[in-house]
């Protein structure tokens, strides 16, 4: 079954790859209009998913993530219209040259072809991914979580109607609409048709894809993020950055998980940290070196366990440890980090340079919150995913990450000498 | 065992990543000097491999590929000196901007970290890969074919001596020196330490890596390359390009395997093709549509089998078929090609544009030989591999393909709003 889907997607991708930006934008506008016009059918389908989720005992937080309201759906349609305004990377000439023998060469940006996305219970991802793929001339095969099964089915139906209305193949956007998990394994081996696979979900999904997929995978999204506080900082400013990194949205992958404090300031800084974290409800997980300076402070403090250093809290919890110097800080980040986002707070140019050069993460910050790692904050206009691997794209992935290039060589009946 | 090797490579990569271009070039020169100074030990080791290979009944062609002579080794040392002259991509700022909130952002090119390479019986690859990795600040873990076991061992010993002489960690270049095949499977799962895996070998090796590796893999090297002869060409020129593409080096992955001829010229063109191919010893494998025009010609001609269209000949054999038009040519290439290198010979701008836009290959040529797909011909200065996948790098991979980038954000104690 997936084979036929893959074949149809590949065929559709050939047509999409030759569309002009204006043609693609017309289809995006049609999608936005039809999402609004058909909001009722999508919301009815969402109600089925919601009641099944309630029966299964889903938490309120997850239920809220699953819920589509007319307002939310109209906001998503508006996001689709925003995608029209993004510049289209397809067709850009990256570079070119004329070789000595006369070959006129250029590298031109082209769509990837077929993009596969596996995601969990977020109904907006279906439309997000579909619109970003369409904008870049890619066909998409989507596999949403079983919790959003009805919503996704109804959504994709509307997306496909819009495509057909614009004379485009409906196989450009397809969803695997059975909740059967065996289909994921099948999808992961569809390398004949799918050119890139993006898992959007937790560590287990990324691990599954990395181990099972024969399609090139973009892994990422797991962020054990650090901030190192050097011995020369303004305490009030440092605490403001730390609070932002930890508290603004603790469930995000770019939120702060472990604070590394220079030993020279630990005795003065950590009590102030305790007061500030107490005020915003953060529980501290202190190392043996940090504990003496935290145990009399107002914030709740417990002993950190070794394994806490390698896991995301994604909650109002923060590991705190004291390090001898920047070398120890960098060593800690190399040992426990996930190469997502790490920051140094310092007044020293040389320390900042060392941190930037030696910490091997997708995003490295000097005197800024780790929370900035985001396609919107980076001015990419859209975010397909956040990659923590090093091939193809690193960090927030914008539209360019949905493209590849081809070499085009022009000659005059030219042969290789 | 490989785990310790991976760990040491990762540790070495941290040191390599901070070297200046001058420091890296000094190490490259030391390597070239020491290869020459120690040529005797390497050539003695190569003699062991050669006699084992002779006993095992290796073909003359493969024996020649395995053989190292003083002249060949000095040529390789000279190639290493050439790598010094290549510009170093590491440290380049790809782009940058100041975001509205004040975040000063840049994308800086950095080494990948640790590169794994699996290759067959070519002793030069060890030195090639090591020098390109060193130039880009990457550590390398090499796994050569068992046929070159002694040669590789002796070579890596010399490379490591040169590294140590320059104060660099010898773990920067390591070889898996046991011929045990189980170690390949272990290497493929070393994702904790190896950042990119490059298989250099046949289709079976690429398939193994794609299926088993948990490390991002660059696959490629398999080229079922096509040339479509449109109905408006100069026959003599076309035949010259075809001869070059097929005959210049038939064992290369960018050599021509299937010729697609427009039906309007088949009756006139194919007899001339037969004469030309006969002159250079090419056997034609003709489709039913091509056979009537070839069977009375001088070239040896046999019926093509369906499966011949999907395989590389890598020999003086050429599939020939007649197609109704450019649509049929493109459909054939989509069905049987490997997205490596494909060419059109035509005088028509519109046909050339269609071919370039609709054939989804790493390299697409207009009026040029497919043999141009090569790092040297493309002016890349060096070639790490040829990728036929779409992520990270496509087509010939130069030094840039051995790098990734990091995002660096500077603020003034900046928080995300």
Q: What is the pLDDT of residue B201?
A: 84
| Chain B partners within 8 Å of A406 (Cβ) | 360-364, 394-395
Cβ–Cβ below 8 Å for B367 and A413: yes
Tokens 């390479």 correspond to B117
B78 touches chain A (CB under 8 A): no
- Provide the pLDDT confidence category of residue B87 given band limits of 50, 70 and 90: very high
Distance from chain centroid for Cα A212: 21
At B390 the three-state DSSP class reads coil
Smallest CA–CA distance, residue A394 to chain B, in Å, is 7
Taking only the tens place, the pLDDT of each residue in A157-205 is 999 999 999 999 999 999 998 878 899 999 999 999 999 999 988 888 9
Average pLDDT score over residue span A262-266: 98
Residue of B nearest to A15 (CA): B358
- Provide the pLDDT confidence category of residue A383 given band limits of 50, 70 and 90: confident
Is B382 in contact with B132 (CB distance < 8 Å)?
yes
Q: Is the pLDDT of residue B329 over 90?
A: yes
- Provide the pLDDT confidence category of residue A275 given band limits of 50, 70 and 90: very high
DSSP B193: T
DSSP B217: B
Is B156 in contact with B38 (CB distance < 8 Å)?
no
Mutate: best of B241, B256, B372, partner A, most A CBs <10 A: B372
Cβ–Cβ below 8 Å for B366 and A410: yes
Mutate: best of B11, B252, B404, partner A, most A CBs <10 A: B404
Q: In whole angstroms, how far apart are CA A354 and each of A266, A341, B17?
A: 21, 16, 12
Please report the residues numbered 224 through 263 in chain B whose beta carbons come closer than 8 angstroms to any beta carbon of chain A.
234, 237-238, 240-241, 243-245, 248
Quickly count: other Cβ atoms within 10 Å of residue A288's Cβ.
10
Is B27 in contact with B137 (CB distance < 8 Å)?
no
Taking only the tens place, the pLDDT of each residue in B290-323 is 999 999 999 999 999 999 999 999 999 999 999 9
- Provide the pLDDT confidence category of residue A222 given band limits of 50, 70 and 90: confident
Q: What is the pLDDT of residue B61?
A: 83
Q: Is the pLDDT of residue B345 over 90?
A: yes
When CB atoms are compared, the residue of B99, B216, B377 closest to A416 is B377
Q: Average per-residue pLDDT in chain A?
A: 95
Q: Which helix (H) or strand (E) holds A320?
A: strand A317-323
Determine the Cα–Cα distance for residues A265 and A282; give it in Å rounded to an integer. Answer: 21
Cβ–Cβ below 8 Å for A404 and B390: yes
Q: What is the pLDDT of residue A1?
A: 81
| Chain B partners within 8 Å of A113 (Cβ) | 360, 390
Is A262 in contact with A325 (CB distance < 8 Å)?
yes
Which residues make Cβ contacts (< 8 Å) with residue B22, sequence separation at least 6?
none
Q: Is the pLDDT of residue B121 over 80?
A: no
Residues B309, B315, B321, CA angle at the centre, nearest 5°? 35
Smallest CA–CA distance, residue B405 to chain A, in Å, is 7
Determine the Cα–Cα distance for residues B161 and B179; give it in Å rounded to an integer. Answer: 23
Distance from chain centroid for Cα B310: 20
When CB atoms are compared, the residue of B360, B390, B407 closest to A378 is B407
- Provide the pLDDT confidence category of residue A256 given band limits of 50, 70 and 90: very high
Percent of the residues in chain A that have a pLDDT greater than 70, as a whole number: 100
Determine the Cα–Cα distance for residues B262 and B308; give it in Å rounded to an integer. Answer: 20
Mutate: best of A379, A390, A403, partner B, most B CBs <10 A: A390
Average pLDDT score over residue span B97-109: 96
Q: What is the pLDDT of residue A228?
A: 98
Cβ–Cβ below 8 Å for A196 and B390: yes
Token pair listed for B222: 């398999």
Q: What is the pLDDT of residue A180?
A: 84
Determine the Cα–Cα distance for residues A238 and A242; give it in Å rounded to an integer. Answer: 6
Q: Is the pLDDT of residue A121 over 80?
A: no
Cβ–Cβ below 8 Å for A391 and B404: yes
R_g over Cα of chain A: 24
Least confident window among A11-15, A289-293, B138-142, B208-212: B208-212
| Nearest-10 Cα torsion for B287, B289, B292, B297 | -50
Cβ–Cβ below 8 Å for A395 and B373: no
Token pair listed for A45: 């389908």
Cβ–Cβ below 8 Å for B113 and A360: yes
Smallest CA–CA distance, residue B42 to chain A, in Å, is 33
Tokens 């000595």 correspond to A100
Cβ–Cβ below 8 Å for B411 and A365: yes
Cβ–Cβ below 8 Å for B407 and A362: yes
| Chain B partners within 8 Å of A378 (Cβ) | 99, 105, 407
A14 touches chain B (CB under 8 A): yes
Q: Which long-range contacts (CB under 8 A, 24 or more apart) does B354-360 make?
A: B354/B326, B354/B330, B355/B228, B355/B326, B355/B329, B355/B330, B356/A408, B357/A17, B357/A18, B358/A14, B358/A17, B358/A18, B358/B330, B359/B330, B359/B333, B359/B334, B360/A14, B360/A17, B360/A110, B360/A113, B360/A406, B360/B334
Q: Is the pLDDT of residue A416 over 90?
A: yes
Q: Is the dihedral of CA B243, B247, B251, B257 positive or negative?
A: positive
- Return the beta strands (E) in A130-271 as ranges: 139-143, 173-175, 196-200, 225-229, 256-262
Mutate: best of B360, B384, B400, B405, partner A, most A CBs <10 A: B360
When CB atoms are compared, the residue of B334, B369, B390 closest to A195 is B390
Is B175 in contact with B144 (CB distance < 8 Å)?
yes
Q: What is the pLDDT of residue B177?
A: 81
Largest CA distance in chain B: 82
Q: What are phi and psi of B350, to 5 degrees?
A: -70, -40
Token pair listed for B323: 């197609």
Q: What is the pLDDT of residue A392?
A: 95
Please report the residues numbered 304 through 343 in chain B whose beta carbons come closer than 8 angstroms to any beta carbon of chain A.
334
Nearest to A105, CA basis, from B377, B252, B384, B383? B377
Residue bearing the bigger pLDDT, A282 or B204: A282
Largest CA distance in chain A: 82
Is B404 in contact with B110 (CB distance < 8 Å)?
yes
Q: What is the pLDDT of residue A390?
A: 95
Taking only the tens place, the pLDDT of each residue in B351-385 is 999 999 999 999 999 999 999 999 999 999 888 88
R_g over Cα of chain B: 24
**b/e per residue B143-170 (b: at least 16 CB within 10 A):** bbbebbbbbbbbbbbbbbbbbeebebbb
Average pLDDT score over residue span A298-325: 97
Distance from chain centroid for Cα A65: 17
Q: What is the pLDDT of residue A229?
A: 98
Mutate: best of A385, A414, A417, partner B, most B CBs <10 A: A414
Least confident window among A62-71, A135-144, A277-286, A363-372: A62-71
Taking only the tens place, the pLDDT of each residue in B234-267 is 999 999 999 999 999 999 999 999 999 999 999 9
Which residues make Cβ contacts (< 8 Å) with residue B315, sequence separation at least 6?
B250, B251
Residue bearing the bigger pLDDT, B146 or A23: A23
First to last CA, chain B: 48
A85 touches chain B (CB under 8 A): no
Distance from chain centroid for Cα B343: 19
When CB atoms are compared, the residue of B113, B363, B390 closest to A390 is B113
Nearest to B10, CA basis, from B111, B88, B108, B83? B111
**b/e per residue A105-125 (b: at least 16 CB within 10 A):** bbbbbbbbbbbbbbbbbbbbb
At B376 the three-state DSSP class reads coil
Please return the burial class of B312, using the count of CB atoms within 10 Å of its CB with bins 0-12, 13-18 and 19+.
Answer: buried
Tokens 């305490």 correspond to A235
The residues facing B404 across adjacent strands are B110
Per DSSP, helices labelled H in A138-233 are 149-165, 182-187, 203-212
Tokens 């043999």 correspond to B371
When CB atoms are compared, the residue of B191, B218, B372 closest to A416 is B372
| Chain B partners within 8 Å of A191 (Cβ) | 210
DSSP result, A8-58: HHHHHHHHHTT--HHHHHHHHHHHHHHHHHTHHHHHHHHHHHHHHHHHTT-
CA atoms within 13 A on the CB side of B153: 14
DSSP result, B242-270: HHHHHHS-TTSTTSEEEEEEEHHHHHHHH
Tell how strand A395-397 and strand A93-98 pair up.
unpaired
Which residues make Cβ contacts (< 8 Å) with residue A281, sequence separation at least 6?
A316
Q: What is the pLDDT of residue A134?
A: 97
Cβ–Cβ below 8 Å for A191 and B210: yes
DSSP result, B90-130: TT-EEEEEE-TTS-EEEEEEEE-SEEEEEE-S-HHHHHHHH
Nearest to A404, CA basis, from A14, A96, A93, A112? A112
Taking only the tens place, the pLDDT of each residue in A313-359 is 999 999 999 999 999 999 999 999 999 999 999 999 999 999 999 99
Q: Is the pLDDT of residue A127 over 80?
A: yes
Q: Is the pLDDT of residue A221 over 90?
A: no
Percent of the residues in chain A that have a pLDDT greater than 90, as a whole number: 90
């Amino acid at each position: 079954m997936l084979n036929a889907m893959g074949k149809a997607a590949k065929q559709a991708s050939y047509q999409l790859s030759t569309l002009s930006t204006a043609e693609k934008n017309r289809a995006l506008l049609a999608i936005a209009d039809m999402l609004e016009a058909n909001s009722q059918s999508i919301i009815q389908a969402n109600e089925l998913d919601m009641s099944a989720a309630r029966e299964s005992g889903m938490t309120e937080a997850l239920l809220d993530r699953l819920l589509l309201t007319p307002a939310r759906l109209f906001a998503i349609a508006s996001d689709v219209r925003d995608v029209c305004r993004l510049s289209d990377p397809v067709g850009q000439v990256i570079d070119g040259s004329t070789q000595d023998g006369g070959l006129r060469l250029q590298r031109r940006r082209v769509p990837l072809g077929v993009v596969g996305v596996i995601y969990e219970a977020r109904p907006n991802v279906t439309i997000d991914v579909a619109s970003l793929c369409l904008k870049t001339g890619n066909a998409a095969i989507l596999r949403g979580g079983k919790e959003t099964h009805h919503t996704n089915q109804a959504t994709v139906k509307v997306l496909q109607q819009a495509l057909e209305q614009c004379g485009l193949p409906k196989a450009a956007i397809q969803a695997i609409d059975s909740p059967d998990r065996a289909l994921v394994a099948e999808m992961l081996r569809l390398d004949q048709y799918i050119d890139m696979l993006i898992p959007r979900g937790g560590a287990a999904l990324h691990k599954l894809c990395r181990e099972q997929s024969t399609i090139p995978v973009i892994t990422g999204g797991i962020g054990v993020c650090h901030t190192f506080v050097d011995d020369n900082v303004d305490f009030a400013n440092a605490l403001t950055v730390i609070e932002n990194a930890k508290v603004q949205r603790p469930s995000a992958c770019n939120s702060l998980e472990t604070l590394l404090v220079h030993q020279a300031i630990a005795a003065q800084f950590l009590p102030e940290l305790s007061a500030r974290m107490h005020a915003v409800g953060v529980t501290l997980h202190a190392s043996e070196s940090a504990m003496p300076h935290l145990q009399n402070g107002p914030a709740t403090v417990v002993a950190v366990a070794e394994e806490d250093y390698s896991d995301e809290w994604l909650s109002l919890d923060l590991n705190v440890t004291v390090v001898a110097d920047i070398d120890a800080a960098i060593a800690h980040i190399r040992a426990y980090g996930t190469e997502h986002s790490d920051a140094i707070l310092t007044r020293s140019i040389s320390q900042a340079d060392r941190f930037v050069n030696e910490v091997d993460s997708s995003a490295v910050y000097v005197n800024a919150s780790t929370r900035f790692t985001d396609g919107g904050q980076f001015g990419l206009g859209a975010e397909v995913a956040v990659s923590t691997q090093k091939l193809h794209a690193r960090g927030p992935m914008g539209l360019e990450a949905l493209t590849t290039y081809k070499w085009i060589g022009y000659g005059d009946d030219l042969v290789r000498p």
